[in-house]
Structure formats: structure tokens, C-alpha cells
Structure 1
Amino acid sequence: MTIVVTTPTGHVGSRVVRVLIQAGVRPRVLVRDPARLDAQTRGRVEVRVGDLTDAGFVRDAIAGARTVFWVDPTPHTAEEPVETSRRTAAPLAAAARDGEVARIVFLSSVGAERRHGVGHIDGLARVEELFDASGADVLHLRCGYFFTNLLLGLDDLRRGVLTTTAGPDQPLAWVDPRDIGEVAAARLLNDGWSGRRVQAVHGPEDLTFTQVAAVLTEVLERPVRLRTVGDDDLRATLGSAGLPAKAVEGIVGMMAGTRDLVPEQSREVTTTTPTPLSAWAYARLRPLLAV
């Protein structure tokens, strides 16, 4: 059984690779920079070096594989983020239509079920549609808000500020990417499902940004206050940083388009993962902010 893993050095992909190795599988990993794989991992995987935006590389690299774990590599700063996500996934969808790939597990997001109006998440919706039309067995993992998104605001957190455009009392599903990786690996290893499936990965509990600030205050042992900014303020900040207009709207739209979202999948045993934000923040965030 050959399992292909894309973005194997990312927050989710690295965990998928580790679990597959521990399960006795030698995954094939598609990576731009093999030096980012630690030495022990490199010796236990099949490495294909290339760029996921290169259609020829993708088709060659997945040849002979039965199952692919696909993570959209499109950065939020891309000039055409939604179209780039769709175009990058197209070679895998074509391989599935041609019978070269039988199963796809796709790292999607809550909000993709809306299909339109959710910023860059619209790109994930386009990818879902491509894979659904391919004829392969497909599983979409609709994931909540990554704990690791907090790493993007380290400078603010050093000043004791948590900044967001979300409503302060808007509950969001917060999740540890390592837990997502474990769910993905379990699904990749399980041959007992078929057809089109959707599975949410919601983390252990929904949290508002007010609650997140309180958790960080306790973990960091210093006050963290919440600062909310409007969509126009965020647009201005991103625009002044030189981001293209569609990239700006892709970023703004992700939060704006999910403000009143009730996820399509409810919270229950298959959608709830164990790691609390406090444990992740203590292990990952606190050392980075130690004075």
C-alpha cells in the first residue's frame, strides 16, 4: 500500500508522516526541501522532491500510489488564492479520474460547505468539488481554527495583546494540528470507508477569543488583553504590507465569512479531539515568549 503525503514538514503533515511510520508504513512524501525532514524520518520515507504547483511533478510523483493525503500549499498571500488552490489540485483530480489514484484524504476547513463568500476557504471548496467529481473515494477533513494560528501574532503577544477581527464572543472550534494529523493518519490507514465522506475535526471545545485571551493569560502568567479590529482596518494593514487585492480579500473573507457559521458537522465523538489549548500553549507558545 503506497500512501502519498503532501506538505510532510507542515504542522499537520509532519504528524501524519510520524504516525504512518509508527504504523509500519513507508509513506511517499512530496517535498520541496528534503533538508527540512529530520535524518531519522528521511531514512523511513520515500522522498520525491518538487513543487506541488508543478502539474507534471505531481502526476509523476503520485504514479503508482493508491492513496493521497492532499494539503493545499497555496499561501494566503498568493495573487489569486482561490484559483491557485483549484489549479494546484487539478492534476491530482485528473489522476483520480484516470483511475491512477483510488482514495484521497483532503485537509479542508469549516466554512468550505458554504462554497462561496468565505475568502480563501472558497479555494478549498473548489478543491472539494474537483475531488468529488473525480470518481475516487474522497474524505474531506473540515478542520477548525488551528492553535498554530496564534504563532502568527507573536509580536503582539509579546506586548500582551491578542488581535483578531472575530467578534470577541464568537465561539470557534479550536484544534491542535497534531490531533488533525492523527485523525488523517487513521483515515489513511483505514480501508473500510468508500464514497464521499466529510469528517469535521473540531478540537476539544469551542472557544471565543475572550476565552482564548484568558487561557493565554493563565498559561503565560501575564496579562493578555484582546484587541478587535474591523475588516477595513485589516484590509488597510494588509494592503500597506504590499499584498495583492485578491489576497487581501481572501484573508479578510475567511473570518468575515464564518462569523455566523454553524458547522455542518456537529460536535460529537468523531469530530472532537483531545488536546486543550492550555496544554498546547504551555508546550509550544510559552517557550517562544519566555523573557
Structure 2
Amino acid sequence: MQIAVTTPTGNVGRHVVATLIRAGVRPRVLLREPGRLAPEVRGEVDAVRVDQFDPEAVAAATEGVDALYWVDPTTGGEDPLADYARATAAVVRAVTGNRIGRVVFQSSVGAEKRHGAGEIDGLAGTETALDDLGVDVTHLRCGYFFTNLELQLDSLRAGTLQVVLPLDQPMAWVAPRDIAEVAATRLLSPAWSGRCVRAVHGPADLTWRQVAGILTAATGRRIGVERITDDAMRAGLRRSGMTEGLVEAVLGMSTGLRADFTPEQHRSVRTTTPTTLAAWAYDHLRHRLADGS
């Protein structure tokens, strides 16, 4: 079986590639810059330079593929949802043109809303487009990535995380490596067919207050958390260099899920994965905070 993997150097994709290699598969990896692949991986994969927003290029890169791991790329542009639509058009063209019968799509908790959740609306659009193709597809509705904390290293060093969500609102937190293990299992398993939604919830639902306590214990730094206004968050996102369209799309991922939202998939043994935030923070975050990188 020929398996193609997009974003193979990303937080999830690099672990998908490694898991497939360990399983004896030589995956085809699609990326803009093949030189970004880790040296030890380059001889174990077939790398194809491709722009995921180019339908013809993606179709050419996936010729002969049986199963595809698809991640919608982002550009940081003024209209993120338009970018998601372009990526969706590319994967649809590839799947239909090459008769790819099996797709695992990296989606998110909140995509079930379909509208009103910022950037997540783009993932919802890809879900519905893949559903319409009638192929075997699994949508991985993932919780909040541990690695998102790396976007707030300066705040962590200063000792305070700023968020717009209620501090006592629990949500699913998950390690990207655990998502990758679920993705690789779905790609390799013949035991499913049709349209499937598989949530990936991590080991526990956590509030932001609990997260702050876990990070304090794991890193040895006193870290607190405060809730700020939407406008204050907008200002911070603008200072980071985001376009106005991206600011609203990123903010919407929080504001769209903070009131009267209940995930469609409930936590179960099938959605719960093992890596804890404490273990991840000790292994990955502690050193980055200490060395200033």
C-alpha cells in the first residue's frame, strides 16, 4: 500500500512519518522544502516538492497513492478561510483524479459546529468536501495541542499566560505524537470503512488553572494564568505581526467554543491517549524556557 503524508515536518506529521517507517512502510511525503526533512529520514521516504494549494501539483504528487494523510496548510494571509478552501480544492482534485480510496484528515474539536469557530471553520469545510466524495475517510477531531504553548514562550518566561477562555472551563489537551499514532493506525488498519469521526482527546480535560499548576510543577517556574478581554487578545495578536483577517480567525477558535459548546464526541477509551501534559512539559518545554530558545 502506497501511503502519502502531507506536512511531514510538522508537529504531527513528523511522528506520522516515523511511525510508518517503523511499521515497514516507505511513505511518500509531500512538502514545499524537502531539505527540511531530518537527515535520518531522507533515505526512508520518497519526498516530493509540492505546493498544497496547487490542485494540479497535488494531483501529480499523489498519483498511484492508496491512502493519504491530509493536513490543511495555513499561510498566515489576510483571508485564512479562503486559503483553507484552496487546500480543500487541492485534496478533492487529488482524491477524485487518482481514485484515492482512503483518507485520514487532521481536523479539530469544534469542526462539528461547521460555522462560527474561526479557523476551525476551514477544517469543517474540508470535512464536508471529503464526505461528499464517498471514499473511506476518518476525520481526526483533535483537542488543543500541547505544542501551542510554544507559541507563548515569552509569556511563560514572564510567568503569566493570557487567555480569553474562562479559566475554569475544561477542554481536551493532547500531545501531537499521540495524534500521529492514531493517524498511522487508521492509515494502516483495514478494519474500518466509510465515513468515520475519531476524536483524539489526550489523557484528561484540563482547565487553564490546572494547566498553570502543571506547568509550574514540570518546569520549576511559577506560572499563572489570567483571563483578558477579546480586544486585549486582538492587540497582542496584532503585535505578533498577524494580519487582521488572521487575528479574527485565530481569536474565533476560542470565542466560538467558549459558550454553549459541547463536543460531539464524548471522551471514551477510544478517544483517550496516554501522554500527559506534565510529561510533555518536563521533556520539551522545561529546557526551552531555561535556555531561552
Do the structures match in fold with TM over 0.5? yes
In 2: Cα distance, 1:97 partner to 1:131 partner: 10
Secondary structure of 1:24's partner?
Answer: coil
Secondary structure of 1:113's partner?
Answer: helix
2:104–2:140: 8 Å Cα contact kept in structure 1? yes
1:94–1:134: 8 Å Cα contact kept in structure 2? no
The Cα shift of 1:227 comes to 2.1
The Cα shift of 1:94 comes to 2.5
Q: TM-score normalized by structure 1?
A: 0.96
2:52–2:90: 8 Å Cα contact kept in structure 1? no
Which residue is equivalent to 2:213?
Answer: 214
2:63–2:98: 8 Å Cα contact kept in structure 1? no
Code of the aligned partner of 2:68? V
The superposition leaves residues 125-172 of structure 1 with CA deviations (integer Å, 9 ceiling, x where unpaired) of 001011111121111000000000000000111111122111100101
In 2: Cα distance, 1:223 partner to 1:99 partner: 53
Secondary structure of 1:53's partner?
Answer: coil
| Percent identity (aligned) | 52
Counting only pairs closer than 5 Å after superposition, residues 12-91 of structure 1 correspond to structure 2 as: 12-75=12-75, 77-91=76-90
Q: TM-score normalized by structure 2?
A: 0.96
Counting only pairs closer than 5 Å after superposition, residues 159-198 of structure 1 correspond to structure 2 as: 159-198=158-197
Code of the aligned partner of 1:111? G
Could you tell which deviates more after superposition, 87-96 or 106-115? 87-96
In 2: Cα distance, 1:7 partner to 1:229 partner: 33
Which residue is equivalent to 2:264?
Answer: 264
In 2: Cα distance, 1:99 partner to 1:59 partner: 7
The superposition leaves residues 218-238 of structure 1 with CA deviations (integer Å, 9 ceiling, x where unpaired) of 112221111221111112333
Code of the aligned partner of 2:107? S
2:55–2:94: 8 Å Cα contact kept in structure 1? no
Which residue is equivalent to 1:118?
Answer: 117
1:161–1:225: 8 Å Cα contact kept in structure 2? yes
Q: Kindly report the root-mean-square deviation, in angstroms, between the aligned alpha carbons of the 2 structures.
A: 1.3
Secondary structure of 1:104's partner?
Answer: strand
Secondary structure of 2:184's partner?
Answer: helix
In 2: Cα distance, 1:241 partner to 1:92 partner: 31
Secondary structure of 1:290's partner?
Answer: helix
1:96–1:135: 8 Å Cα contact kept in structure 2? no
In 1: Cα distance, 2:285 partner to 2:271 partner: 25
Contiguous gaps of at least 5 residues in structure 2:
none
2:216–2:222: 8 Å Cα contact kept in structure 1? yes
The superposition leaves residues 241-270 of structure 1 with CA deviations (integer Å, 9 ceiling, x where unpaired) of 553332111011000011132111111111
Which residue is equivalent to 2:248?
Answer: 249
In 2: Cα distance, 1:83 partner to 1:11 partner: 23
In 2: Cα distance, 1:268 partner to 1:146 partner: 19
Contiguous gaps of at least 5 residues in structure 1:
none
Which residue is equivalent to 1:278?
Answer: 278
Structure 1 segments of 4+ aligned residues over 6 angstroms from their partners: none
In 1: Cα distance, 2:222 partner to 2:277 partner: 17
In 2: Cα distance, 1:79 partner to 1:64 partner: 35
Could you tell which deviates more after superposition, 33-42 or 12-21? 33-42
Q: How many residue pairs get matched?
A: 290
Code of the aligned partner of 1:284? H
In 2: Cα distance, 1:233 partner to 1:279 partner: 31
